Amino acid sequence: MIHVFSKDGVLLRSFGCDSSGTAVWDGPWGICVSGQFVYVTDLDGYNVSVFTTTGDYVTSFGQHGKGFGEFNTPVGVCTDLDGFVYVADFNNSRVLTVLISYCMILSFFYFDFPCQYYQLWYNYCI
């Protein structure tokens, strides 16, 4: 569950549960707030969930595995000013990079050890 507090410590809102009160994550770990979006990695759900800063669900991406768009223990997440989302994929020993533009995930690419570069372009609407 994500709790949003004011600077004075007052709880403003919470999100991360469905209408029945069940958590939407199996093992939330990393979080990044970037612009109007909140990105949360899910260790045991093997994905990244995207919400608005007001708590509305936008999308999620990823599944269990070691291929393109797949995670095996996503632990960290951050973004840059160009719209890239970087996900530290611990048990796959890599950083997976996702380019999200408007409603499209445009590409997944990553550096794998020892320093091999892979890229696959998608036309996948989220």
The tokens for 115 are 């320093």
Segment 43-70 mean pLDDT = 87
Give the pLDDT confidence score for residue 17 in this predicted structure: 73
> Where do we find the tokens 């994500």?
2
Domains and CATH numbers, the chain: 26-125 (2.40.10.500)
Q: Inform me whether the pLDDT recorded for 64 exceeds 90.
A: yes
In the chain the first and final C-alpha atoms are separated, in Å, by 23
pTM: 0.78
Cα distance between residue 92 and residue 65, in whole Å? 9
